[in-house]
A and B are shown apart, each in its own frame.
Chain A
Amino acid sequence: MKQLAEQIARTDEVPILLTEEAQKFTQEVIGRSGERVDWCYQCGKCTAGCPVTFAMDIEPSRVMRLVQLGQEERVLRSKAIWLCVGCQTCTTRCPQEIDIAKVMDTLREMATEKGYAADREVVTFFKSFLDNIRKYGRTFEPMLVFQYNLKSGHLFQDADKAPLLLSKGKLPMRPSKGSMSVQRIFDALEGNKR
């Protein structure tokens, strides 16, 4: 019954209007990622191999399809592009040699720029993670946890796991050295962008 209800809801959906306008988004994704998303022929191998498909609202192959059809809002609003962990299983296996993980990266960038991803926890984590790398040269876990928990508002998230991590030496007390070289990479990249 639930399936049937979903199906009925789906047929009520507003049709995709395919005009030249719709193709602009497709071309933007292709241009920015450098990947021929239009080559995707919907074999579904990426979806079949993706370890996080189970949690996605739109599976990877369908993300590719929606990009082909210029469905900017549907794609950039999706949870799927944030759930992608970048494991590159899809990229490795794609018969059309599309770097799907890279496309996902591009989509995340675009979603951030266009304000679709303003307050997502995943974005918060990504930002905290990058700040952490920029500052310490490699992940300094205690600070990462601290920063993320603070920004996301989940102050005590995963606090119960700290003793175990400590006992295994996974929570170092001091950050590693060599932070300046990584800092320079960041500067160079951001300089490029400007």
Chain B
Amino acid sequence: MARIGVFICHCGENIARTVDVAKVRDAIAKHPGVVHAIDYRYMCSAPGQELIREAIKEKGLTGVVVAACSPHMHEKTFRNACTVAGLNPYLCEMANIREHCSWVHSDREKATEKAIELVRFLVEKVKRNRPLTPVKVPITKRALVIGGGIAGIQAALDIADGGYEVILVERQPSIGGHMAQLSETFPTLDCSQCILTPKMVEVRQHPNIRLLTYSEVEDVKGYVGNFEVTIRKKARYVNEEVCTGCGACIQRCPQKRIPAEFERGLGRRTAIYIPFPQAVPNIPVIDREHCAYFRRGGCRLCEKECPRNAIDFNQQDQLITEKVGAIILATGYDLIPSDLYSEYGGGRYKDVIDGLQFERLLSASGPTNGEILRPSDNKEVKSVVFISCVGSRDRSKGIPYCSKICCMYVAKHAILFKHKVHDGQAFVFYMDVRAAGKGYEEFVRRAIEEEGAVYLRGRVSKIYQQDGKLIVRGVDTLSGMPVEIPADLVVLATAIKASDGVTELAQKLGVPVDEHGFLAEAHPKLRPVETQVAGVFLAGTCQAPRDIPDTVAQASGAASKVLAMFSQEAIEREPTIAKVNEQTCVGCFECQRVCPYRAIERKEIRDRQGNLVKVVAYVNPGMCAGCGACTVACRNHSVDLEGFAEEQMFAEISAIVAA
């Protein structure tokens, strides 16, 4: 015989204002099976929980209904209270009489009636609840980090330092990401290479990190704690085991005029190349597209030159399969192409470049050895115009968001330009200066007050060439005047977007992307490094534009989530999942077809002699999310959802219909 206790919360005035709580209590007290019904001002408070614990012990309750807010808020609170009192937590349910009732209605009488019904049907459900225990899922204590920029590097190092194995996958020939391209970093003007390369070397040397560069994740199967990933290690055509990185092959390569990706086209590279001097690993790669041997046969000069016989033109892509328990996505960003803006030259003017290209001009190891020279004629730049928000905050270009880092790097560029060209003049066009960070506002003021950058509030309308100069036509809304600047160089702070190919990767993992193509976090405030997919975490600019300090913080956050998971023996998952009745299942596998989580497996049933009797569906408890699609698809009701069984649902509906 069921002995149900009902606890009705006022939620201060939130519920009591619209619902006559006392009336609900009196009505439900008469409902069959209810042996205890009380109301209280704040059920979630410590004394409120105590009321539930006492009643369970004193009245020997077999089920509890708390009529209060949404189970999203306090289901955990009340279920824990039940556990403490010795009642299985899954025998406690919440009737939502706040979001579903008091907050959305104004007629007190009708709202009270509805509240009574909401509580009544939950009572009917709880009568049929079974005690459940959380599912324990084993964990492979090893992580995969996708992306070898500063986010991936930091996350990999943190997990590795925590004592667990990490596989770090990077699609470029070297790790380092965009940070390796930067000259100096705001607001302290640390040399980017100087602070990044020690970490890159550490990754290479760390005994717990397995580094796979020039590799991409091809496929992901499995579920939290038990992923199986396939990684394509692209052919480098250089044997990594024997290559010493001496560079003789690079010296010899006759193809010397290929635009270098690392220099963003401002410098040249050979067909066999190492992207930059501090590359990790320091092993060249042959670019098939430009290599004379792959294009026409012949050449093979690198092969002849190599003292270690490391060149291997027959190398093939390798597919590597690994088991991991957690995945961190750190796939980073790209800049939008500047040719989106025809009014700024649309990519036609060589002296209109983007922010990363300017970083390469500033860099001592860059194509100009750190001199600020015009790409068109190598003339020294005396007057430079920086334009913020190129793409960002531009609805017409489909990018309504702020790219967040541009205000700061533009100020940095203006400062570094002045450091390099003392008699030069920097102009900055901006709409707002967003410098919210430690030391950031001071840094921007320094650009203006100490380094003499002229800031002009307004957008540039067009750029055209005249007498060897770029004429920048904009407005200064502060003076209300249109302005014209004859410039030697124009630098566009183009918008940040998620890296190419991220959407495809996200699809393989089942991770949602937001409307702009960035990976979506599980909750914008409270779960910023997690995704909707258990065991998959986010770090860095793949989630949204952010600067280096934020990226490093988020990467460490994601790593600590992984470490917390690995420190457990097994993962506990909600037991409200599908369960197959093996007696009645006929093995049609309609459920497998509709399951969005790939949770349905085939299970063979054998007799004592080991003869196959039949094949039935089996629900992998690690993967099932309890969506219930299979229960609908099953033709003979052989699948049911624990905690939301058909019987329980019918009881709920009947309770409403009966009233």
Contacts and interface: CB of A to CB of B under 8 A. Distances in A.
Tell whether A pairs with B: yes
A37 B67 CA distance: 65
A16 B483 contact: yes
Interface stretch (A18-26, A84-92, A141-149): A18-26
B449 interface: yes
Given A15-B483, A18-B454, A65 B476 contact: yes
A106 interface: no
A62 interface: yes
Given A18-B427, A65-B476, A39 B448 contact: yes
Given A15-B473, A18-B427, A23-B425, A71 B482 contact: no
A38 B452 contact: yes
B323 to A, nearest CB: 57
A41 B445 CA distance: 9
A50 interface: no
A17 B452 CA distance: 18
A3 interface: no
Contacts of A41: 445, 448
B478 interface: yes
Contacts of A65: 476, 478-479
A167 interface: no
Interface string B440-474: 00000100110010100100000000000000010
A176 B359 CA distance: 70
Given A15-B473, A17-B484, A23-B425, A36 B449 contact: yes
Contacts of A18: 427, 454, 483-485
Contact of A38 (B427, B449, B480, B485): B449
B425 A71 contact: no
Nearest to B472: A18
Nearest to A42: B478
Contact of B479 (A36, A39, A69): A69
Contacts of B473: 15
B481 interface: yes
Interface string B475-497: 01011111111100000000000
A16 B484 contact: yes
Contacts of B479: 16, 62, 65-66, 69, 71
A128 interface: no
Nearest to A58: B479
Given A42-B457, A68-B454, A10 B480 contact: yes
B515 to A, nearest CB: 34
Interface string A31-55: 0000010110110000000000000
Contacts of B425: 20, 23
Given A16-B476, A18-B427, A69-B476, A39 B485 contact: no
A11 B481 CA distance: 8
A119 interface: no
A160 interface: no
A38 B448 contact: yes
B435 to A, nearest CB: 12
B482 A16 contact: yes
Interface in A62-110: 62, 65-66, 68-69, 71
Contact of B484 (A15, A20, A23, A42): A15
Contacts of B445: 39, 41
Contacts of B448: 38-39, 41
Contact of A19 (B457, B481, B486): B486
B452 A13 contact: no
A23 B425 CA distance: 10
Interface in B252-304: none
B482 A13 contact: yes
Nearest to B486: A19
Max chain A C-beta neighbours (<10 A), residue from B425, B473, B478, B479: B479
Given A15-B473, A18-B454, A39-B449, A69 B480 contact: no
Nearest to B385: A18
A10 B480 CA distance: 8
Nearest to A44: B478
A18 B427 CA distance: 9
Contacts of B452: 38
Nearest to A22: B454
B484 A69 contact: no
Residue of B454, B457, B478 with most chain A CB atoms under a 10 A cut-off: B478
Contacts of A66: 479
B483 A62 contact: no
Contacts of A23: 425, 454
A15 B473 CA distance: 8
Contacts of A13: 481-482
B68 to A, nearest CB: 49
Contact of B483 (A10, A11, A20, A69): A69
A41 B433 CA distance: 11
Contacts of A10: 480
Interface of A: 10-11, 13, 15-20, 23, 36, 38-39, 41-42, 62, 65-66, 68-69, 71
23 contacts: A13-B481, A13-B482, A16-B476, A16-B479, A16-B481, A16-B482, A16-B483, A16-B484, A17-B483, A17-B484, A17-B486, A18-B454, A19-B485, A20-B425, A38-B448, A39-B448, A39-B449, A42-B457, A62-B478, A62-B479, A65-B476, A65-B478, A65-B479
Interface of B: 383, 425, 427, 445, 448-449, 452, 454, 457, 473, 476, 478-486
Considering the complex of A and B, which 9 residue pairs feature the smallest CB-CB distances, nearest first? Answer: A15-B482, A15-B484, A65-B479, A16-B483, A18-B485, A42-B478, A65-B478, A16-B481, A39-B449
Given A18-B483, A69-B481, 9 more contacts: A15-B481, A16-B476, A19-B485, A38-B449, A41-B445, A41-B448, A62-B479, A69-B476, A69-B483
